[in-house]
Amino acid sequence: MEITLEIQNLKCGGCANTITSKLSGLDLINNVQVNPEKNTVSFSYENDTVLDEAKTLLAKIGYPVLGDKNALTTKAKSFVSCAIGRMK
């Protein structure tokens, strides 16, 4: 199955690098593509459990799905993830 999620706090290519790297590391997730201009991430996945894992991971690294809680601490995590993505 394939999905495109609109996510929060996506700012630049550094963010995109981190998201791509982290999601690609999950089993049963493939073809990760991030579009900073549209604030979206697209990927293929095997089942709903894997999709839930991906959403949880996105929130953990600071990029929750649009409509999910986006606390100040989550926004701060996105800045750290962004900086890490820029260094790679």
- In which domain, by residue range, is 12 found? 2-87
The answer to whether 85 and 18 have CB atoms below 8 angstroms apart is yes
pTM here is 0.94
CATH at residue 71: 3.30.70.100
For the chain, the domain total comes to: 1
5 in helix, strand or coil? strand
The pLDDT value given to residue 80: 85
List the structure tokens of 68.
């999910």
Per-residue pLDDT reduced to its tens digit, 25-70: 999 999 999 999 999 999 999 999 999 999 999 999 999 999 999 9
CA distance 78 to 34: 15
Indicate if the alpha-carbon torsion angle 85, 16, 49, 64 is positive or negative.
positive
